[in-house]
Amino acid sequence: MGAVITLTQAERDRFAAYLEHEAHCDDGIMEQMQKLPGMAPMLAKLRAESLAAKVIAAKLRSIESEEIG
């Protein structure tokens, strides 16, 4: 079984922001690539990666911090 990695709220926020930024950049690249012929395979790959990044970022942002004290 794999190791469990626990992130702090600040780390989750930072990672979510990174993923959202990457997805935004990918969206811009896709917009430009749509103008070029023969880019369908690369567009499909970028679209899937962008969507995955957005989903993971949303999941990270939805996690509530728990403090034991």
pLDDT tens digits for range 6-44: 889 999 999 999 999 999 999 999 999 999 999 999 999
pTM: 0.80
The count of structural domains within the chain is: 1
The pLDDT value recorded for residue 67 is 56
Q: How far apart are CA 69 and CA 56, in angstroms?
A: 29
Q: How far apart are CA 33 and CA 36, in angstroms?
A: 5
Helix axes 9-33 and 40-62, enclosed angle (nearest 10): 160
Q: Is residue 49 part of a domain?
A: yes
Q: Is residue 67 part of a domain?
A: no
Q: Is residue 22 part of a domain?
A: yes
| Domain residue limits at 56 | 9-62
- 9 or 68, which is more confident? 9
